[in-house]
Amino acid sequence: MRRFGELEAAVMDCLWSRDQPATVREVHTELSRSRQLAYTTVLTVLDNLYKKGWLRRQQDGRAHRYVPVAPREDYTAGLLRDALDTGGDPAAALQRFVGQMSPEEAVALRAALEAHEEHEEHRR
């Protein structure tokens, strides 16, 4: 399965901004406002996202209604947990920019930076 692209992101955006489950028709209508899209394309994307566990599906008469499994913030929080939590193994994290730090260390670091910048100012 190819990686998620711009279309999948737009579909999720659309669903996250609604409060209620949406049918394929409703999603297609909304997305068609800004791009050319076949109905079947939207149907495939929704089905893929459902199969990959991003959406829940409910039967509504003859149509399906789709709704995201969790709000957007949950997923972003999950991303950060993945990236920044290491469970004690420094190499297990995805290559993150800075590891965890205590408040005291952070204060000392900020002080060191400011002392350096002052020193540089006086030199000039």
Kindly list the residues in this chain that would bind another protein in the complex (CB under 8 A).
3-5, 8-9, 12, 52, 54, 72, 75-103, 105-106, 108-110, 112-113, 116-117
Of 25 and 116, nearer to another protein (C-beta) is 116
- The amino acid occupying position 103 is P
Closest distance of CB 33 from another protein, Å = 19
Distance CA 107, CA 63 (A): 57
- The amino acid occupying position 70 is A
Of 60 and 82, nearer to another protein (C-beta) is 82
Closest distance of CB 32 from another protein, Å = 20
Q: What residues does 65 pair with on adjacent strands?
A: 23, 58
Of 12 and 24, nearer to another protein (C-beta) is 12
Of 20 and 97, nearer to another protein (C-beta) is 97
Helix (H) or strand (E) holding 57: strand 55-60
Closest distance of CB 57 from another protein, Å = 17
**Residue 36, SS3 per DSSP:** coil
What is the CB neighbour count within 10 angstroms for residue 17?
9
Closest distance of CB 52 from another protein, Å = 7
φ, ψ of residue 59 in degrees (nearest 5): -85, 130
Q: What residues does 67 pair with on adjacent strands?
A: 56
